[in-house]
Structure 1
Amino acid sequence: MTVEAERAAERVARQSYGKLVAFLTARSRDLPAAEDALSQALVDALRVWPERGIPDSPEAWLLVAARRNLMQGVRHRSVRENARPTIALAFEEAEARMNEAAAETFPDERLKMLFVCTHPQIDKSIHTPLMLQVVLGIDAKAIAQAFVVSPAAMGQRLVRAKANIRDSGIGFAIPDRRSLPERLSAVLSAIYAAYGLGWDDLDGADGGRSALSNEAVWLCRALLSMLPDEPEVIGLLALMLYCEGRRAARRNAEGDYIALDKQSTDRWNAIMLADADALLRKAGAADRFGPFQCMAAIQSVHAARRLTGLTDWDALVTFYDALLMMQPTIGARVGRAAVLGRAKGPKAGLNCLDAMDAKEVRAYQPYWAVRAHLLTEVADYPAAETAYLSAIGLSDSPAVRSFLMRRLTDLRMRAA
């Protein structure tokens, strides 16, 4: 029973962490305390469930336990007396909801939590990491890796941001129309970052991370239901559906990684891609073109191969040029170099890569993978081998490493 209880606790923590924290924080206005209370509830579950059995609704059990932990914390801390009745009343309401029936009866407050994390009083540089941890339960180590900082530094920044939310009395609500655009951009970036972490988990070794893709799509759909005419929300959903529509084709029957331009379009999800096409057309009708629409347009060009049998590389260069005007990120620049290498020749792509800051690309795996491919195309085999070795060493995915190793083997045979 102990093993089963541990698995049940881990499963509900992965699936419901953000939902539970958001619900608790919405009523206590104390994010650090809500997280501490939920963490203690998980510890309690690991102690109690093996003895008494796994409850019918583990999510509800955790919420009630976390509520009790929070109430104990309120009693032990020195707080304003007039705050106690408000907090007590809110959590009595929460417990009543939990005792009604299923955990699904309590509202999902994660969208509000997303906007709390993007409040102007919170440092912009921590918006996305904060949302990734608080709303989607990603640990600080994984976030630090994604943002290329030390886990200790990221942990400290997250702690400070959560304390700022608590101490500043930030309202737990969707912002008004006047302040929505700037806040919305940060929310969309965080949702897409979460999707990217799930998408990058090609091997499925981390079930929690791979499930992030579905969570990100759900959050975007929920956001779209509130803001049905926002073109960038529509664009982000289209972008993720384009990617999801190709998910099954990323691996062959033997489990090997397959590059996008080599994927069999028969294995793409035609219905999902058609939905993405329709969403992108709807976003375009708003005549407000933003970066997520642009990235969706890039994916639409790749998706069109299922209809035409060809990839319009010149169109991809145009879209990447537009994207770089809006968001000159390292990913966009490497992506442009890759498509330029197909549209104008490998030397043109290499010239783009050569113009990039060496310090910025030193640990960026896609840069070395693209560079290795382009160097192979111009028959600079020694430099290509060095680039392949860098790309292999920087990859976290066994499937991608195996793919690159096969290419490196082919390169060595060609150079022999």
Structure 2
Amino acid sequence: MRIIHCADIHLDSALTTHLDKEKARTRRKEILDTFRRMLVYASDNDVQAVIIAGDLFDSEMISASTVNTVLGEIARHGELEVYYLRGNHDPGISIFAGRNIPKNLHMFDERWTYYQLNDMADESAAHSGNDERCNIVLAGIEMTSDNKNRIYDELSLRERDVNIVTLHGQEQEYGDAHVAEEICLDKLKDRGIDYLALGHVHRPKREKLDHRGMYVYPGCLEGRGFDECGEHGFMLIDIDEATGDMNTEFIPFAYRRLYDVQVDITGAADSQDVADMIAEKLYGDVNGRENDQARALVKITVTGGLDVESEIDMEYLARQFNDSFYYVKIADKTDLRVDPLKYVHDATLKGEFVRMVLEQDMSEDDKAYIIQTGIRALAGEEVWTR
């Protein structure tokens, strides 16, 4: 039996932190389309069940068209059984009020709910040795402030089954949960869990739970901000129903990828120097086919020390790379540096100004900023405040 485990899709996210309104609207449609493509992938690859471990939607502010599309796509793939556990971002169940809920969409609530994922093995046949299939069981519960600490004692699993448990929250090793989104892994050890299907953490993670099972965060289906760089997709679980053996594989599936590229531009004299340094690092990190590069969202963080007389135009730099990528942002994390020896024998007004500032009782950063601003003013250039 093949199962997809996904989470944190966050449909209808605003996405306006970095993108303009038009690109944000396009990006929301792309994320919805990735959800649609995932169901097509499931149908084409003999997947029988899809587990959504929370945060299918981003908030209560969900468009009717998005809800209708989700329900319509699930109904269209009637060969799949879809199990949806709501997360902390998801709206209440009333979001589906007045709509036809597909028969193949299954939900959870604040009590443990158990689903048999495969055709149940015949108990009498199993005892006689004529049916060696394993029962594959999915258990899930929506965590709340009321039930967050008692769910562990109430979980009931059979050792002989292949047990998948789905929860939405942040892992913690020991202790009681202080908020509904905390999951105590220690209390889930030695409970007969083969695969703990989690949601809430936006980067893929797969670790050993105990001698028997593993816990897995598939990460979000698509990265939305620069705290979600790297590959995104879902987990594909393949279970041998005869032996209960389980194989898992992360499937990269996002339409776009986000990159945060760090470039040290120490020693650069002007914007073209910086552009050359960025290009060398950027095109090495963002590799792949040309259309993949054009899909990428890139944050370029420039670091290092710059001489106060260097003229670096960050807007110019962004324009140099805009045509190559879907979105480019330049983050300036450089430090201004002053070389006192350059001005020791400078008899001009500039030299006198620099020496005067260097003698002041203030931080080196403030001195560098004041010197840079003064030098630009003396040259008749535009001056801006930080």
Tell me the TM-score normalized by structure 1.
0.22
Please tell me whether Structure 1 or Structure 2 has the larger radius of gyration of its CA atoms.
Answer: 2
- Structure with bigger helix share is 1
- Where relative contact order (Cα < 8 A, 6+ residues apart) is larger, the structure is 2
Tell me the TM-score normalized by structure 2.
0.23
- Structure with bigger strand share is 2
